[in-house]
Structure 1
Amino acid sequence: MIEERGRVVGVEPGAVWVETLRQSTCSSCAANAGCGRGVLQRLGAGASRGQVRALCDLHLNMGDSVVLGLREDLLLKSALMFYLLPLLGLLSGALLAQCYGLSDSWLIVAGLAGFLAAWLLVRRHARRHLDDPASQPVVLRALITRAEGPA
């Protein structure tokens, strides 16, 4: 399971809205010191916040820190569907036009039509499974933050 930390920004029955911090992998790159993107990351310009709805059976409040979980197979299937299927549609449309001996301009149009058809299939599939609990992130656990008092 892929885990990500976040902060609860909204609560609804059976789910919470969690804000996560998106970061690039610049901190692990060997060229970090001389890279412009690495400098922007250190200044805070490379980080952005995203909100995600996660299923939850815990009693959480606004501001609580949580750990979200997403199954690896779900992430892999989604990535293949959203990136590979439109690419295959593009290539299939162009290949089909080439098999019929169409001109280059029609080849481009057929490739774009194949891309659009595959994109529409992906969009339809995503909308159909929007409320499917098996395809949503879940709150794995709440993080306990201890208030530091006088020592």
Structure 2
Amino acid sequence: MIIENGRIVSVETEGVWVETIKKSACGSCKAEKGCGHSLLNKWDGHSAYIWVLLDGRDPAQYKLGDEIQIGIPEEVIAKGSLLVYLVPIISLVTLTSLAHAFFAQEAITTLAGFTGLAIGGLIVRWHSWRTRFDRELQPVLVDERKTLRFFQPVEQH
């Protein structure tokens, strides 16, 4: 579970909106000076807002401005990264290869590559929209008010 600190900016009945403090990841990474994310983070004044489910907790316990910790399972980040990076690249290479095999013209091959990249991006966007309410993919609150449920493998007898 990757833990991130944040501040509550809105409380609703099912969850809270949290403004994340992005510096925690950038401060602990050894590649900070050569990282594009770190550079953009310094220039960009925008904050990141994340919807976090309360998972049965009473919303009255949380107030605007409360500092909280949220957790995101590692497998969610790993699978999401694979999806976001591999699907567009695979569709780009596939359409480029097909166009080159059937047409062998540079302009058509290039256009097919850009089309494949766009199709891959649309697939990622569609998958993101389709799974936006999946409870397994949502960040969770990490606090003493309710214990976290971790996956426990079932023992075979």
Give the structure-2-normalised TM-score: 0.74
The answer to which structure has the higher strand fraction is 1
Runs of 5+ unmatched residues, structure 1? 33-37, 144-151
Work out whether 1:4 is the aligned partner of 2:4: yes
Residue pair 1:22, 1:47 contacting (<8 A) in 2 also: no
Instruction: Give deviations 1:17-54, integer Å, cap 9, x for gaps.
Output: 1111212636755896xxxxx9xx8xx75775211110
Identical positions, percent: 30
Secondary structure of 1:141 counterpart: coil
* Residue number in structure 1 paired with 2:153: none
Superposed, 1:1-151 pairs within 5 Å as 1-23=1-23, 25=26, 29=30, 48-56=46-54, 57-58=56-57, 59-141=61-143
CA distance in 1, matches of 2:31, 2:121: 37
Which residue identity does 2:22 align to in structure 1? R
CA distance in 1, matches of 2:73, 2:136: 9
* Per-residue deviation, 1:67: 0.6
* Alpha-carbon spacing, 1:122–1:139, altered in 2? closer, same or farther (3 Å): same
* Per-residue deviation, 1:121: 1.3
Runs of 5+ unmatched residues, structure 2? 146-157
Residue pair 1:21, 1:47 contacting (<8 A) in 2 also: no
* Alpha-carbon spacing, 1:135–1:47, altered in 2? closer, same or farther (3 Å): same
Which residue identity does 1:108 align to in structure 2? T
Q: How many residues align?
A: 136
Instruction: Give deviations 1:81-116, integer Å, cap 9, x for gaps.
Output: 111110111111111111214200000011111112
